[in-house]
């Protein structure tokens, strides 16, 4: 007999959580998150989850209390005798800290994996990790969904001619090539040199973009410095138009102003992280149906390989 399914969401992903539950075909479960006078969090389920397959939806973008809230939600579900606790983390924070690239630093992605597992999560479902190898930090099943499943149809609907895809840095070539393959298109690379995090010293384009409609591909846009500099440079090199498709819109600090003042015609993003500011250049494509389908397949023990990278 299949287990009863219950879906709950934390504060960081409440709007997306409602959309996922609606796409799944059921209402969100009743969860309260108390905030004490000193700002400590105390989640509690206002309905029984005993013996249920529970899905907890929460991205772990800053502030760090989003991660703490999720950890407490998992612990509460385990202590309430849930049959399985499935963490649905549309955006995995700290994923960029996935290795020691200099002495005496932490590996944040591994720390996050340890936290999620230590509180009792049985499964993780996420989208477009900064590096696919991060799945190896977990000793539980990880469903790594492909954001391109929802952004590719939108780009196809634009009917752009002379389409060309661009990676904003050398590290994103594999991701960009996978994207271009879906369109039978070529790629170019923007090679950048950094002096420090979020600060670019120089950039150059490897490849010819003259007369092409160019789409930049990346997983995260944070301060938008790289993507905007790349867009401006591509237009200088003769591109007909430049768009960017990004999965996770952190959009910190000056990001919105940079996007408005850049050569970008459009920034296509998903709703793994909610937008905090209106921006006419930004087009949001929802991943709600993608996650709902993956959840259906997990519950019914069907393959979800078509939703993987």
Q: Are 38 and 20 in contact (CB under 8 A)?
A: no
Least Cα distance to 117 among 183, 70, 177, 164 occurs for 70
Q: Are 193 and 203 in contact (CB under 8 A)?
A: yes
CA 239 → CA 36, 59, 157, 216, distances in Å?
54, 35, 20, 12
- Active-site residue, from 110, 192, 240, 283: 192
Other beta carbons within 10 Å of 236: 11
Burial (CB count within 10 angstroms: exposed 0-12, middle 13-18, buried 19+), residue 129: buried
Q: How far, in Å, CA of 27 to CA of 278, rounded? A: 28
Task: Take residue 244 and report the two structure tokens written for it.
Answer: 């960017």
178-213 residues labelled b (16+ CB within 10 A) or e (exposed): ebbeeeebebbbbebeeeeeeebeebebebebeebb
Active-site residue flag, 100? no
CA 154 to chain centre: 17
Q: How far, in Å, CA of 275 to CA of 251, rounded? A: 8
Task: Take residue 175 and report the two structure tokens written for it.
Answer: 């991701």
Catalytic (active-site) positions = 192
């Amino acid at each position: 007999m299949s287990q009863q399914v219950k879906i709950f969401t934390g504060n960081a992903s409440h709007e997306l959580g409602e959309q996922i539950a609606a796409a799944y075909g059921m209402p969100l479960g009743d969860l309260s998150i108390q905030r004490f006078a000193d700002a400590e969090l105390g989640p509690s389920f206002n309905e029984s989850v005993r013996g249920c397959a529970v899905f907890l939806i929460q991205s772990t973008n800053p502030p760090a209390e989003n991660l703490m809230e999720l950890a407490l939600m998992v612990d509460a579900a385990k202590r309430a005798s849930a049959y399985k606790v499935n963490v649905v983390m549309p955006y995995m924070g700290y994923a960029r800290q996935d290795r020691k690239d200099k002495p005496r630093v932490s590996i944040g992605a591994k720390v996050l994996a340890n936290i999620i597992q230590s509180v009792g999560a049985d499964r993780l479902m996420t989208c477009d990790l900064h590096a696919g190898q991060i799945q190896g930090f977990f000793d539980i099943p990880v469903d790594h969904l492909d954001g391109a499943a929802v952004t590719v149809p939108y780009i196809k609907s634009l009917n752009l001619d002379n389409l060309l895809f661009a990676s904003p840095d050398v590290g994103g070539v594999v991701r960009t090539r996978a994207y271009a393959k879906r369109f039978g298109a070529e790629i170019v690379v923007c090679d950048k040199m950094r002096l420090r995090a979020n600060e670019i010293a120089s950039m150059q384009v490897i490849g010819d973009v003259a007369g092409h409609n160019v789409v930049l591909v990346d997983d995260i846009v944070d301060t938008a410095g790289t993507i905007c500099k790349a867009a401006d440079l591509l237009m200088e090199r003769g591109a007909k138009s430049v768009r960017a498709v990004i999965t996770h819109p952190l959009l910190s600090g000056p990001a919105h102003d940079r996007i408005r003042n850049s050569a970008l015609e459009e920034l296509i993003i998903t709703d793994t992280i909610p937008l905090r500011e209106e921006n006419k250049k930004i087009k949001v494509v929802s991943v709600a149906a993608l996650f709902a389908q993956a959840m259906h397949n997990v519950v019914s023990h069907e393959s979800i390989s078509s939703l993987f990278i």
